[in-house]
């Protein structure tokens, strides 16, 4: 039985990855933040037989090292970070410490394990900033313009250094935006879908948003965690972009979400200039050709289906 170790196992990606690995017969170990409000709520539906979770903090090395060494994993998936781009402007030092130095700590712990393990680092399209090249691929210059992007760029470069200089099987998955009903409530996709459900059920009257012309390449989290796993099954450690290659506006999310609830968005949406984000990158769209060619990976769940699923989940949760 293969063993996997996941940091941030309680989050959107971590919980879907745990599900995937358990279905593949893995024994899954993971850590979650002691201070997380929901604890490990996303894991409560999973069978406990081959799932082992531990509270830890990336700032406290021993809290990570002890369960990692106990697991003696074949594969390590480092997903934990302060991952909200907007909040990274308010929590610059925390973002760099947790997201950037956290990756370095995991790499060093991996290098010192008694038996070698394959290492996956969840990088981000934010490392590209506002790129001149479109679409972006693995060779696109790293030029972050947000604290979060800068911290992820550090982790990405350190992963490459440990691969080339220490011989680790270390992979960067450069993940473009990906969503699901488990997306954090402070992300715009979830905020929109929650508000639509509340308006539909008479608990809210309007949705206040910032710049709805902002564009991203949005995929589905379940597709992207499948890519994570495939990247560690590859013969050699390489970096891979995981993206849909399609770009959408926040406005598209608004219209799809209200349509899923059979409402007219025009009657309920108001813009607020104070919510506009500084230095918002434009034309961020990925080229997943390498992942398709070498891993046989491609996204299977459409953007439209993802938003409809998120709205349905919010409606069901509030009706319960």
Q: Which residues are catalytic?
A: 124, 126, 148
Quick check: 7 and 58 in contact, CB under 8 A? yes
Of residues 31, 180, 173, 40, the one with CA closest to residue 102 = 31
The pair phi, psi for residue 260, each rounded to 5°, is: -65, -30
Residues pairing with 30 in the sheet:
6, 53
Alpha helices for the chain (secondary structure H): 12-23, 61-71, 85-88, 92-95, 102-111, 147-166, 188-200, 221-233, 250-260, 289-295, 303-319
**What three-state secondary structure class fits 178?**
strand
The pair phi, psi for residue 111, each rounded to 5°, is: -60, -30
Quick check: 304 and 248 in contact, CB under 8 A? no
Burial 291-317 (b: 16+ CB within 10 A, else e): beeebebebebebeebbbbbbebbbee
**What three-state secondary structure class fits 179?**
strand
**What three-state secondary structure class fits 98?**
helix
Q: Compute the distance between CA of residue 81 and CA of residue 120 in angstroms, rounded to an integer.
A: 14
CA distances from 28 to 7, 47, 66, 79, 87 (A): 11, 11, 15, 14, 30
């Amino acid at each position: 039985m293969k063993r996997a170790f996941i940091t941030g196992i309680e989050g959107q990606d971590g919980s879907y990855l745990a599900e995937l690995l358990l279905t593949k017969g893995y024994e899954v170990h993971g850590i979650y933040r002691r201070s997380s409000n929901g604890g490990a709520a996303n894991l409560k539906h999973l069978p406990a037989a081959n799932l082992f979770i531990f509270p830890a903090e990336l700032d406290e090395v021993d809290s990570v090292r002890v369960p990692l060494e106990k697991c003696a994993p074949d594969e390590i998936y480092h997903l934990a970070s302060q991952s909200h781009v907007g909040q990274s402007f308010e929590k610059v030092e925390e973002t760099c410490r947790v997201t950037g130095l956290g990756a370095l700590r995991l790499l060093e712990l991996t290098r010192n394990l008694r038996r070698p393990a394959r290492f996956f680092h969840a990088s981000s399209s934010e490392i590209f900033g506002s790129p001149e090249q479109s679409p972006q691929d693995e060779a696109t210059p790293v030029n972050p313009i947000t604290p979060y992007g800068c911290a992820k760029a550090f982790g990405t470069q350190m992963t490459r250094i440990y691969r080339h200089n220490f011989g680790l099987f270390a992979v960067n998955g450069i993940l473009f935006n990906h969503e699901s009903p488990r997306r954090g409530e402070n992300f715009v996709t979830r905020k929109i879908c929650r508000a639509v459900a509340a308006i539909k059920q008479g608990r809210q009257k309007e949705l206040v948003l910032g710049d709805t012309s902002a564009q991203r390449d949005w995929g589905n989290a379940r597709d992207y965690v499948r890519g994570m796993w495939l990247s560690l099954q590859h013969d050699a450690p390489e970096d891979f972009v995981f993206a849909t290659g399609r770009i959408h506006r926040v406005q598209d999310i608004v219209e799809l979400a209200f349509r899923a609830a059979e409402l007219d968005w025009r009657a309920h949406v108001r813009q607020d200039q104070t919510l506009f984000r500084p230095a918002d990158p434009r034309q961020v769209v990925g080229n997943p050709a390498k992942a398709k060619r070498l891993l046989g990976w491609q996204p299977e769940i459409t953007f439209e289906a993802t938003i409809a699923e998120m709205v349905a989940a919010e409606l069901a949760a509030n009706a319960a």
